[in-house]
Chain A
Amino acid sequence: MTAFARTLRAEWTKFRTVRGWVLASVATAALIVAFGLVPGMRGSCGKTGPGSECRLPVGPGGQEVSDSYTYFHQPLSGDGTITVRVGALTGLLPGDDPNQPRHGLAPWTKAGLLLRAGTVQGSSYAAVTTTGAHGTRLQYDYTHDLAGQPGGPGQPDTSDAAGGSSGTGSAGPRWLRLARTGDTIRGAESPDGVRWTMIGSARLPGLATTVQVGLFVTSPQYSGEVHRGLASGAFGGPSQATGTFDHLAIAGGWTGTAWQPDVVGGERDAVGDQLDGPATGAESVERVGDIVRLTGSGDIAPAVVGAAGLGVSLSQTLVGTFVGLIVAVVVGCVFGTAEYRRGLVRTTLLASPGRTRVLAAKAAVVGTVMFGAGLAAAAVVVVLGQRVLRGNGVYVHPTPTLTEVRIVAGTAALLALAAVLALGLGTLLRRGVTAVTLAIVLVVLPYLLAVTVLPAGPARWLLRVSPASAFALQQATPEYPQVANLYTPVNGYFPLAPWAGLAVLVSWVAVALAVAALALHRRDA
């Protein structure tokens, strides 16, 4: 047996023979499970008889999508080109007062050309579109988004609304063109119909010969952040937009028959509008000579959790992690400081004089125990917690298995690292109470301040640099730049990628352990 293995074994014996520590480790897991399975939240999904089940359309990539828009279209076969000029884009947004909508455009209001495999929700598509505040875009299959020129017909109206209008592109009407060649779709734009700029191309694999091609307008759920002093909150609601099109022309191999108006996703029932929100009842298609005016509401985009979406994400079932974390921190810290209580450290160091080795063995023991506790608890919660919520009629966003595995392992890692951080601080400070407080203040307080008090900017900064960054490991749903939403921690979104967040915590732990090891060497036992 190597020296380290012997020390490891000694520390393990030390840990498992203190009943309080073993019980606390079990309690860590039990608390996480209890918080995950307590049937707190209620919803109406599937509770009001058949047909009330909450289900979102699923896109070609397998993810859930929003797919509601006003469409002016016709089926076209083979390859061809469609061109249109978007003359104007106006809209209505929810205001602070829910009964008083104000004029303005949501940043991701869209009006443009849309080519789809079909009008079934979730079907494959490509669109060239002007937007409320993000210029011209080529978007396809819900998750892909290519930027064209900034500016566009929506810009003059956005100056006092959504903010962040870049303003470098020309405002005013915009010409759009969409061309199909086999399963490749190319998008182009022009300020005047003469000078064309290519935006990019999209490949829609397995696209049928006959597709739906036409004009569309849609305007997503609008959400804004409010700060009333320290209370920050969100408000939101459906928005609507009206696009005015002219110079509509079909060319290439396409031969038009008759245009057909449609409101896709607009015929939602009572449960449906809770689900997909943006049906405002104002959807319409108007055609006066050459001019087509579409009013639409909704979005063609991946579905998100939060103010702009609905339901909850898997991360919300893991709220017990915070409680478990406190227990893990206390155990980790006391495992270190108990040595100093009655001079046990002298016995320990006589038995194994390698001080760094003792610290490493302790870290390995407490880390492994907490990892095991976290792994078991998170696995139970991830598997059963969503079932409980769904049983209560709450819509829980499905999460890919790989993400679930990452969340389970991540929760375990979070507990283990927090316990090791506390161990390092405990060894360094030799005072249980100070070390526990410091560990909790470092790991939990940043998250608390970020979800309750701080405005978005400082909150995101705090969640990039503090050990709380590692909560990113629990993020269940990805953040999409092309969907306006409050991507806040309270909704389960973190500023760092999961592994980057983990890296931040690991760095903190490494520094704490290194300083503790140094102190252990420098000072007398």
Chain B
Amino acid sequence: MGCVLRAEWTKARTSPGMSSLLATMVVVTVALSAAVAATADPLPGADLPKLGLTGVQLGQAVVAVFGVLVMGEEYATGLVTVTVTAVPHRAMVLAAKAAVVIGLVAAAATVAVAGCVLVGWLLVPTGAGVPTGALSSAAAGLHAEVPVPAAPSPDAVAVRPAVGSVLYLVLIGLLSLGVATSVRSSAVGVGIVLALLYVLPIVTAVVADPTWQRHLRQLGPASVGLAVQASTADPEIGPWTGLGILVLWAVGALLAAAILLARRDV
């Protein structure tokens, strides 16, 4: 296993797109967070840590691309035959790739999330804010005692949402790896992953029936996984339960990939 892991690490390290892809992930994540943090006009009581982590919504697409490419590129170039010839124990190849994805995505996601927390801290106005519009008037009293506008907001920093977001991105990377290995195509793989991440929440939002909405929310990988970002516990999905469901998604995808990889002719 050590050799295989080292080989996959060398492979990832020497793949020209990978480092720029992870850098892109960090940049777009922090950039979207900064844009939202700078333009947002959050109501008092708003979930500032979550607001500051909006960039994860975009960053996950790049993580999905990364996870998909780790295996999809091998199928695109035919390199997979060389890999499997060198390491005939195919589950081990997948495990090594999963380990590489975990390591690299965790590292990049830590940087990205730290960046988000920093911009959130610098840019998100303090909880009190100026009441805007009629709606805020009712709740304005709650935070009236901390009127420190334009100062870095400690409210915007919280540990669980930040750590959870890193774990979330790692799990999305693993899910993407599993899906791409199962379908043997990068383009199709990323289509499926992004359908799960982006289209399922839309369907959830548009479906007007509350029961269906709840079921979809409790199943969709994005909605369950991002529940960890909520500072105040989501009534429908606990933060760690949600991440646990996402773990099931990722493990399921990897298991399916491992079985298909072992059964199929390359």
- In the complex they form, whether A and B have CB atoms below 8 Å apart is answered with yes
Q: Mark A419-442, 1 if CB is under 8 A from B, else 0.
A: 000000000000111111100110
Check A41/B47 contact, CB under 8 A, given A323-B195, A432-B187.
no
Is there contact, CB below 8 Å, between A445 and B190? no
Check A445/B65 contact, CB under 8 A, given A40-B212, A341-B76.
no
Is there contact, CB below 8 Å, between A40 and B187? no
Q: Which of B110-118, B165-173, B197-205, B255-263 lines the interface with chain A?
A: B197-205
Check A323/B68 contact, CB under 8 A, given A41-B208, A96-B138.
no
Within 8 A of B (CB), among A226-282: 226-231
Is there contact, CB below 8 Å, between A229 and B48? yes
Q: Which of A45-53, A108-116, A141-149, A324-332 lines the interface with chain B?
A: A324-332
Is there contact, CB below 8 Å, between A41 and B212? yes
Across the interface, A225 reaches (CB within 8 A) one of B50, B62, B135, namely: B135
Across the interface, B61 reaches (CB within 8 A) one of A326, A440, A454, namely: A440
Is there contact, CB below 8 Å, between A448 and B202? yes
A333 contacts across to B, CB distance below 8 A: 187
| Secondary structure dominating the interface of B | helix
Q: Mark B24-60, 1 if CB is under 8 A from A, else 0.
A: 0000000000001001111101111011001001100
A451 close to B (CB within 8 Å): yes
Q: Mark B67-84, 1 if CB is under 8 A from A, else 0.
A: 011001000100000000
Identify which of B68, B134, B205 gathers the most chain A CB atoms within 10 Å of its CB: B134
User: How far is B200's CA from A440's CA once the two chains are assembled, in angstroms?
Assistant: 13
Q: Mark B161-204, 1 if CB is under 8 A from A, else 0.
A: 00000000000000000000000011111110011001101110
Is there contact, CB below 8 Å, between A160 and B135? no
A96 contacts across to B, CB distance below 8 A: 138-139
B207 close to A (CB within 8 Å): yes
Min CB distance A42 to B, Å, is 6
Across the interface, B198 reaches (CB within 8 A) one of A95, A162, A327, A440, namely: A440
Min CB distance B205 to A, Å, is 5
Check A229/B51 contact, CB under 8 A, given A451-B205, A451-B206.
yes
Within 8 A of B (CB), among A301-343: 312, 316, 319, 322-323, 325-327, 329-330, 333-334, 337, 341
B209 close to A (CB within 8 Å): yes
Across the interface, B58 reaches (CB within 8 A) one of A35, A42, A441, A447, namely: A441
Is there contact, CB below 8 Å, between B134 and A229? no
User: How far is B205's CA from A82's CA once the two chains are assembled, in angstroms?
Assistant: 49
Is there contact, CB below 8 Å, between A316 and B206? yes
Is there contact, CB below 8 Å, between A95 and B138? yes
Interface size on A, residues (CB 8 A): 57
A193 close to B (CB within 8 Å): no
A334 contacts across to B, CB distance below 8 A: 185, 187-188
A452 close to B (CB within 8 Å): yes
A453 close to B (CB within 8 Å): yes
Identify which of A42, A326, A337, A451 gathers the most chain B CB atoms within 10 Å of its CB: A326
Check A455/B205 contact, CB under 8 A, given A326-B195, A445-B198.
no
B16 close to A (CB within 8 Å): no
User: How far is B230's CA from A231's CA once the two chains are assembled, in angstroms?
Assistant: 9
A440 contacts across to B, CB distance below 8 A: 61, 190-191, 194, 198
Within 8 A of B (CB), among A443-473: 444-445, 447-449, 451-455, 458
Within 8 A of B (CB), among A199-231: 224-231
B137 close to A (CB within 8 Å): yes
Binding site for B on A (CB under 8 A): 35, 40-42, 95-96, 102, 104, 160-164, 224-231, 312, 316, 319, 322-323, 325-327, 329-330, 333-334, 337, 341, 394, 431-437, 440-441, 444-445, 447-449, 451-455, 458, 490
Q: Mind listing 24 A-B residue pairs with CB under 8 Å? A: A41-B208, A96-B138, A96-B139, A224-B135, A229-B46, A229-B51, A229-B231, A230-B51, A323-B195, A325-B199, A329-B191, A330-B188, A333-B187, A433-B65, A433-B68, A433-B186, A436-B187, A437-B61, A437-B194, A445-B57, A448-B201, A452-B202, A454-B36, A490-B205
Give 10 A-B pairs besides A162-B134, A444-B198, A455-B40 with Cβ atoms closer than 8 angstroms.
A35-B203, A40-B212, A163-B133, A228-B43, A394-B208, A432-B76, A437-B62, A437-B65, A445-B57, A458-B36
